[in-house]
Homo-oligomer: A and B are copies of this chain.
Amino acid sequence: MSDAQAPEKRRAPAKEVKNSKEGDERHDAIYRSVSDAIVEQRLKPGARLREDALADVFGISRTGIRKILQRLALEQLVTLIPRRGASVTRPTADEAKDVFVARQLIECGLMPDVARRMGEKEAAELREMARQERQALRSGQQSVAIRLSADFHVRLAQLSGNATLAEFVERLCSRSSLILAVYGHRGHLGCESHDHDDLIGYLETGNGERAKAFMSRHLKAIEASLSMVEEEENVPDLQQIFGG
């Protein structure tokens, strides 16, 4: 179009800046960083996530932060209100119920496939994960234990060989961590520490139906450990509290 360009402008670059290594590895790392913080409950439900603040912390511009927040919003880990910004999602009781129904259907349905594809190597890997989880719990690292527990369930789903369903399970597990944060009792993870080991046992012997039933009980136990009372911070129900 306009030919009046400074000719030495062209001369410039070469290989001076080396900010992006390959793909957008950096963004992925930041995404994971925020996601982990939410799942480990270091960022609690309701916490505001200001774009500027995050941009400062991670040393990238708001553009990149917005991309990451959007992704987290699609996974329902953060809630995005137009013109009001992002905050860590506070799941409602209804959503919590939906998530556990979904987990029952999908995770239990997957157990036969997992049992079928279970080998020495896979069992060993799972046992190691269960061991780390138990250790974290023993040493009082509740946050880490929660994430490791979620990781266990996700890895299990991946062993089914169905990437699509594994991804669904991944999302359900992250959301479960949020639910635990809101409705769980302090100092109680929801599931017994030896549950995962027992499950591996059934899977190892190829007993899919047994594993399925056990997973069902396992999930029910977690759900039952929650106290499903929504702290209504929105409207204090004056009518209910006083008059009548």
A residues sitting closer than 8 Å to B (CB atoms) are 22-24, 67, 70-71, 74, 82, 95, 98-99, 101-102, 105-106, 109-110, 162-165, 168, 172
- Asked whether, in the complex, the Cβ of A162 is within 8 Å of the Cβ of B23, the reply is no
Q: CB < 8 Å: which of B23, B102, B163 contacts A82?
A: B23
> Given A23-B82, A74-B74, do A102 and B165 touch, yes or no (CB 8 Å)?
yes
CB-CB nearest 7 A-B residue pairs: A98-B164, A23-B82, A105-B109, A98-B162, A102-B164, A102-B165, A74-B74
Chain multiplicity (copies): 2
User: Which of A24, A71, A164, A172 has the largest number of chain B CB atoms within 10 A?
Assistant: A164
Q: Residues of B contacting A163 with CB < 8 Å? A: 95, 98
5 pairs from A and B in contact (CB 8 Å cutoff): A98-B165, A101-B164, A101-B165, A106-B106, A164-B172
Instruction: Among A70, A74, A99, A109, find the residue whose CB has the most chain B CB atoms closer than 10 A.
Output: A109
**Chain B residues with Cβ under 8 A from A162's Cβ?**
98, 101-102
Residues of B within 8 A of A172 (CB): 164
Q: How far is the CB of A113 from chain B (nearest CB, A)?
A: 9
Which residue on chain B has the smallest CB distance to residue A166?
B98
A95–B164 Cα distance when bound, in Å, is 8
Partner of A168, one of B22, B74, B102: B102
Complex Cα gap A230–B67 (Å): 33
CB-defined contacts of A24 to chain B, threshold 8 Å: 82
Compute how far the CA of A102 lies from the CA of B164 in the bound complex, rounded to whole angstroms: 7
Output the nearest chain B residue to A66 by Cβ-Cβ distance. B67
> Which of A22, A74, A168: most chain B Cβ within 10 A?
A168
Query: How distant is A94 from chain B, measured CB to nearest CB, in Å?
Result: 8
A167 CB, min distance to chain B CBs, angstroms: 9
A101 to B82, CA, bound (A): 37
Residues of B within 8 A of A101 (CB): 162, 164-165
> Which of A71, A99, A165 counts the most B-chain CB atoms under 10 A from its CB?
A165
